[in-house]
């Protein structure tokens, strides 16, 4: 396991603040002798430190896939699988698969397919809870489209949530990408939407807990 570069500053500031709290906690204990309070605050500091560090963890995973596989871009739970009208890029009917990421999930994001990046756009917006139906079109978000070697395109969208306040993405139009390579990171709770061709095979169902680079979302036909 490694720690994501997007978290270096936050982890440094967070751990310094927690260290300061623990110093004050010790001074309070020396003056009052309240062992129960010292223990309670120490446990709280350790839990907060663990949560900050684990949020930016990047587990080591081997991405195994075939040419037409659509690999899960994020850890989380499948909350939407439905046919919808995609209005930003395709302007036609697509299968939407949405993955909700809680603050406890790994928040690095990975390319679901290999190909050429055809479209990248950032949209400022609101911070509705990530599972809200309108979060896909009204929240802060970034949209990316990759064209597969077959000519079919997959759109994937990072969506900020009520807690997530920063979306990071690293793709540029014209760039060649490979399935399982990191393309971005969302800080704290959030969501990813995939928009797939109508003839794509879907291998997950609503409620499934999925893992980035390991779970096969579906297959391009």
pLDDT digit string (tens) for 17-56? 999 999 999 999 899 989 999 999 999 999 999 888 877 8
Say if residue 108 is in the same domain as residue 193: yes
Residue 131 to residue 10: CA distance in whole angstroms: 25
Total Cβ atoms within 10 A of residue 27: 10
Pair (134, 46) in one structural domain: no
Statement: residue 133 has pLDDT above 70: no
Identify whether residues 54 and 78 lie together within a single domain.
no
Domain of 194: which CATH number?
Answer: 2.70.70.10
pLDDT of residue 68: 94
Whether residues 115 and 159 fall in one domain: yes
Query: Which token pair is 93?
Result: 């009917």
Burial class (CB in 10 A: 0-12, 13-18, 19+), 217: buried
* In the predicted structure, residue 70 carries a pLDDT above the cut 70: yes
The answer to whether residue 212 is catalytic is no
Does the structure show a pLDDT above 60 at 109? yes
Check whether residue 200 and residue 103 sit in a common domain.
Answer: yes
Partners of 177 in beta bridges: 115
Q: Is residue 139 part of a domain?
A: yes
Domain that holds residue 7: 2-58
Tally of structural domains, the chain: 2
Which one of 13, 34, 58 terminates a domain?
A: 58
Largest CA distance in the chain: 71
Residue 15, number of CB atoms within 10 A of its CB? 15
Average the pLDDT over 166-193 and give the result: 89
Q: Is residue 64 part of a domain?
A: no
How far separated are the first and last CA of the chain, in Å rounded? 34
Residues 41 and 100 in one domain: no
Residues 98, 114, 136, 190: which is the catalytic one? 190
- Please name which of 220, 207, 218 lies closest in space to residue 99, comparing C-alpha atoms: 207
pTM for this model (two decimals) = 0.81
The residue-averaged pLDDT of 131-138 equals 60
User: Which of 192, 191, 200 lies closest to 219 in space, CA to CA?
Assistant: 200
Q: What is the pLDDT of residue 58?
A: 83
Nearest to 101 by CA among 125, 72, 123: 72
Same-domain check for residues 50 and 145:
no
């Amino acid at each position: 396991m490694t720690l994501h570069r997007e978290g270096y500053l936050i982890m440094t500031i967070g751990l310094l603040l927690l260290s300061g709290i623990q110093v004050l906690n010790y001074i309070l204990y020396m003056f009052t002798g309240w062992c129960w309070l010292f223990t309670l605050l120490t446990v709280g500091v350790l839990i907060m430190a663990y949560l900050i560090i684990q949020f930016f963890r990047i587990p080591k995973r081997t991405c195994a896939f075939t040419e037409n596989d659509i690999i899960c871009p994020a850890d989380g739970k499948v909350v939407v699988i439905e046919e919808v009208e995609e209005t930003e890029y395709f302007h036609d009917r697509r299968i939407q698969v949405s993955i909700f990421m809680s603050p406890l999930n790994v928040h690095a994001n990975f390319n679901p397919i290999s190909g050429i990046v055809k479209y990248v756009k950032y949209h400022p917006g609101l911070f509705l809870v990530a599972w809200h139906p309108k979060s896909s079109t009204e929240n802060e978000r970034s949209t990316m489209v990759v064209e597969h070697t077959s000519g079919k395109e997959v759109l994937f969208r990072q969506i900020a949530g009520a807690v997530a306040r920063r979306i990071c993405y690293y793709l540029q139009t014209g760039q060649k990408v490979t399935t399982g390579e990191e393309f971005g990171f969302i800080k704290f709770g959030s969501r990813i939407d995939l928009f797939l061709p109508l003839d794509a095979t879907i291998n997950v169902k609503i409620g499934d807990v999925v893992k980035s680079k390991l779970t096969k979302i579906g297959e391009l036909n």
